[in-house]
Amino acid sequence: MIRLEEVNMLSLVIKEPELKYFMRALMTENAFDDFEVRSLAVAHFVRIEIDGTLTRGETKQYAVWERLRPYILNFIKGKEKPAHIKIVFSMPREKLSEIIPNAAAAFLNMEYKDNEVRFTTATSQKEFSLNKNQDAAWDDHIRAFLAEKGFKTETES
């Protein structure tokens, strides 16, 4: 049995006044454009949910944020802020192997609600291992990525 305190997961938060800068970058700039979108949900005047799976080819592929971003921006434009946004990003496989060789997938979960953005991370391994180095490598990559983009985050425990 896995005890909850043994599960390592990065949890970062962006709060006001940094929130406005982050949301502008997410919706109008290319900061997250290379990430795949596994799923997306937005609650605005209605709720929409998107499965990021592409409908072409036999190999399972996902849409990248660059392609979805204009549609989501158009949906949320207006005077009222959305009540909730949740995006499950993943690193494309070809880039992931450069960061974490044993990873089958690496996720960055982004959730906006109550005037803050919360990020959590997760990885899936190709082969079972008790070694947490790949989780730490992904967490370090995400911290560096967010800092490089100028997003000021707070670590949650």
Cα separation, 41 vs 79, in Å, equals: 20
Tokens at 12, concatenated: 């970062």
Question: pTM, whole model, 2 decimals?
Answer: 0.89
For residues 92-115, one letter each, b for 16 or more C-beta atoms within 10 angstroms of the residue's C-beta and e for the rest, the string is: eeeebeebbebbebbbbbbbbeee
- pLDDT, tens digit, 9 for 90 and up, residues 69-121: 999 999 999 888 999 999 999 999 889 988 888 888 999 999 999 999 999 99
How do residues 139-148 score in pLDDT, each as one tens digit? 999 999 999 9
pLDDT, tens digit (0-9, with 9 covering 90-100), for 38-81: 999 999 989 999 999 998 877 889 999 999 999 999 999 988 89
